[in-house]
Amino acid sequence: MVIVLAAGVGKRMRSATPKVLHEVLGRSLIGHVLASASHITADRSFVVVGAQADLVSAHIAQIAPHFKPVLQAEQNGTGHAVRLAMAEAPDFDGTVLVLCGDTPLIRAETIGELLQGHETDGAVATLLSGRVDIPDGLGRIIRTAKGEFSHIVEERDATAEQRRIVEINAGIYAFDAATLRRTLSALTTDNAQQEEYLTDVFGLLTAETAAVRVHPVARQEEVLGCNDRAELAELARRLRDRINRDLMRSGVTMKDPETVWIDVTVEVQPDAVIEPNVQLKGRTVVQAGAVIGPDTTLADVTVGEGASVVRTHGTGARIGAGASVGPYAALRPGTELGADGKIGTFVETKNAQIGTGSKVPHLSYVGDASIGEHTNIGAATVFVNYDGVNKSQTVIGNHARTGSDNMFVAPVEVGDGAYTGAGTVVRRNVPPGALSYSHAPQRIVEGWVASRRPGTAAADAASAALANTAGSAAPANTAGPATPEPEEGSESGDAD
């Protein structure tokens, strides 16, 4: 049986959010504990909830539905909480594992070692202990003159001498169920907090000369809990270092791991390179050979092999193998960039499928669009997808070349191999292989600056230039032909 204690108020967090629901690198505090505990085979699993029980129970149902919430309506202590959980399985006979809901660094391996040692030694109770530099607020392990376990004293009940002890109770235990059930009934509230302390069970068992064992933890950080925002940040830092260290040892390169924050739910494959100032969140996957950063935040993004993502914010996107994104790109949900494609500088995409080898190099918005393979979208292009009521789709085919400063007014289609000229507003479908352009005559009004902006720097510059241009003047109010041929190079933007 597994019992997780998560009923506390968490007053020192000073938060409207229950303490155990505060997040650390992709999971709530209790989510980390439940993830580690889920590796243990257990007949019954419970979480004791109390403060804001509805919120905590709903969260548990979402992330670990096999854990049953048990309500502790009045927080009368950890012993009382465990007694309520034990009442849910009155016939259980075996080992009971008790965990705290605010110790996110505890590893499944450590829990397994605790249980194995408990059962191998034939103990009726085994507790996990650790040594910390600053034990303030934590229960101390009291040993006899021979160094054997005596009992646990909570800090509020400790003497000044006992408070100098640095071996602390981690709040993680293994019990024989029958022994635990019997001793819980003997607990009293004769202490500073007038609560039933679960830790008093160990003193009762020692008085009976029962087999009580202490299992020191190998990694001291695993026993650290969380009481306030400063401790939450410290836990996050330690977990960050653990994640990054494990990834680097698996073959991931990090130039400055102290500036890289990666959720526990993220997958990064060997030979990926993570540059400084990168955050990878949620279900992000970075495949082998990809380079991420610097200055990049990705949430729920899949990055293909050998792709490059620089100074980019992305959410809910897929980036193909060998593709290039950024700098200063924004990938919104539904973005799919094909292999060897490009989303360039100051480009925003949303619900856009961009095919293999296609490029949106710079200064564009691509929303609600499907772009075929090996197509180039010119600079400063806008996909006009919203008419104030409905959003519509734009479809651009394979091997198309669209000009700079285009607007595609959806719904509209541009066929395979089609071209559009610079400055074109595309309102009608363009057939495959066709050229579409919008053209208005260019007009020139000679002397406009001198007459309308006299005395300005522009007027002075124009006057000087005209003085140096002997006899050169273009006809006033010149207009181009009604149906001109587009100038060479006007039909598409920079393809690089």
Map residue 412 onto helix, strand or coil.
strand
Based on the number of CB atoms within 10 Å of its own CB, is 487 exposed (0-12), middle (13-18) or buried (19 or more)?
A: exposed
399 catalytic? Reply is no
Of 362, 374, 399, 439, which one is the catalytic site residue? 362
Inter-residue contact 415 to 434 (CB < 8 Å): yes
Any idea how long the chain is?
496
Contact 272, 288 (CB under 8 A): yes
**What does the DSSP 8-state code read for residue 230?**
H
87 φ, ψ to 5°? -65, -20
Whole-angstrom distance, CA of residue 83 vs CA of residue 88: 9
* Token output for 348: 């925003």
Beta strands in 278-381 (DSSP E): 278-281, 285-286, 291-292, 296-299, 302-303, 308-309, 312-315, 318-319, 324-325, 329-331, 336-337, 342-354, 359-371, 376-377
- Give me the helix-helix angle, 29-37 and 53-63, nearest 10°: 40
Q: Could you list the active site residues?
A: 362
